[in-house]
Structure 1
Amino acid sequence: MTHQKPIVSLLLAGLLTLSLTACGKDDSQPSPDAGTSVPAGTAVQVETVTSDTISSENKVSGKVTSDLDASVFVATSAKCTAVYVEVGDTVRAGQALCTLDLASTLSSYEAANIGYTSAVQSYQDQAALFDKQIALYEKNVNDLKALQEIGAASQSEIDAAELTLMSAQVTRDSTLSQLEAGIQSAKASVEQLATALENVDARGNVIAPISGVLLSLSAEKDGFVSSAMPVAVIDGVDQLKIAVTVSEALVPKLSIGDSVDVTVNSVGASFTGTIRAVDKTANAQTKLYTVTVTIPSEVDGLLSGMFADVTFHTDTSADTIVIPAQAVLTSGGTQYVYVVEGDTARYVEVTTGLTGNGVTEITSGLEAGQQLVTVGQAYLSDGAPVRIVTRED
């Protein structure tokens, strides 16, 4: 019996060794995760750079209103060079009714506009200059008063400085008053000529302000129209229009007949409208110009008083590089993008131009055919390894 315990111990040790050996065989099997490691490089999405056409977009809001009838006046005597319609015709808003020889009036209007703009700029420049001078004179007076308190300046010096200040203030008020009179005179000239050119486009065409039936037409080819009677009278259908106001920076870029994009969210309507009138003088209170847009008759569900968003397309560039706006990154004053060459990201500085609906014009830095990073660019650096994935990945 005394020899059985060592034998049993030896048997147990042997069994344990065999068990460990059997378990060790599993180490040679492939890992459940083998073959599923993530490829190297930052995941990005790309698109090929192409040329396209882009226009600047300017969105403003206005209201839907309705028309009844309209008399078309031209507040000057002018020779008619062409007539395009007859009494009884159905005309559409924005349609040319006739052409008048208004070259001299149009030139005078442009010159008056330039004069008005120049007068305003001169006033602003002079006002800024006077403000700087007076600020310096006021500082000089205050400094002398402070020095007087410590015995470093006399009262006579302060009196002289105050006299200089008052003289500058009088000069400023007198000069600005004269300049303001010049502005009002220039503005009056612009408004007078603008009245004469109401419902007239830049080519001298008299434009129908509304759609409807032409009831009368005083214009005859080689004849003269008079300011005493309307050129045309239109019996308007129940025509809807949109009135919006725009800034002085935008109004020179708009013309009668231009197409615009319109959205009326209250009825879920989106359609293309046409500019039928552009005011040539600003509202005295708001300093904004009213633009009237015609709504196509086939658009249903609109009611007078509804709000509408109007997008004007200006400053068009054709055959230019256009990319998604989100692809452009900015650091300080530098704009840049990333392109993919092989499996590597390359940093490229770019110069941008016009901006449209989610897209940006690139005037330098990119060429058609390059692979532009559109998703994942914020995580890249120049020379970083990348792997291109699709949206489904």
Structure 2
Amino acid sequence: MKKIILIITVLLVSIALVSCSGNEAKETELAKPAIAVKAELVKTETIEMKKNYTGSLKGEKQTTVYAKVSEAVESIDVREGDEVKANQKILLLDKTGPSSNYLQTRELYLNAKKQYEKMEYLYKEGAVSELDFDAAETDYKVKKASYDAASRLVEIESPIAGVVTSIDVSEGDFVQVGQKLATVANSEKLRVTFEVNPNEIASMKIGAKVSVLNEKTNSKTSGKISAIASSADPISRAFKVEAILENISKDLKPGMFVRIEYVAEILNDVIVIPRKAVQIRNEQDMVFVAFNGMAYLKAVELGADNNGDIVVLSGLQKSDTLITIGQEYLDDSTEIRITEIN
């Protein structure tokens, strides 16, 4: 009997030891290391709510040159981007073509000039009457005007000083009356037109400041809104807005593609956090805050988005420790280790 009791006791002790060993193993398996995260202290600040748009620059004064006769392009004297003076020749059409009448008017002008100079000499010598001299002078002026007009038809000049923004023909092309030849824009003052969504147009005001970014030089030029469309474009459903800027540095050129920055609103004493810190859990915006080595989920109400940051309307308080990196690996009440805090 004693032997049976001893055997039973040994078995019970063995079972107890195995059970304890299993529990210790489970506890070891369940014990997880603290998750490393980065965080920042929540603070309030004043921010500018900026909106970005795109557009192409044009000269405030800009002119397009069209062909007035049908002739071939003989030569092009400028390139796109060149600066030209007012009345500077930019291209030449064929002077020998039948449409220009250049050669005929030139011959008539030279003959009239020669006759006028002859009559002028004779009139001073008293050899011809004043009536004959006046007739020669009138004929000379008429022929010169005709020749000048014919010259302007083939010797194409820039009506204004500025930058050549486009050359729309090539040497040898045969152009028709009314065909676009070139565009010249004055670059001292520039204008840019951009499209604004209907839900943003209310913030636009005449005279409001805009910044135009030259992405090649990473420089900004200030301008002012000069015009706002009263109705939306029927195709794009957007409102066209125009701004004027002084091109003092001459860095900007007509035809350049630029980004326009506009401060739509200034928010004072608001909490702003990185957009990446927000997690969507159970279809709700949530963030993790750190407290005593643990991460806790908090529901937040979000406001306006501002270039990667977002305004928090409620759910966070000043000096909360917001987890900004590593939050995707967390659950509520997870043990954490903060490696960096801003």
TM-score normalised per structure 2: 0.50
| Greater share of strand | 2
**TM-score under structure 1 normalisation?**
0.44
- Structure 1 or 2, whichever has the larger Rg, is 2
Higher share of residues assigned helix: 1
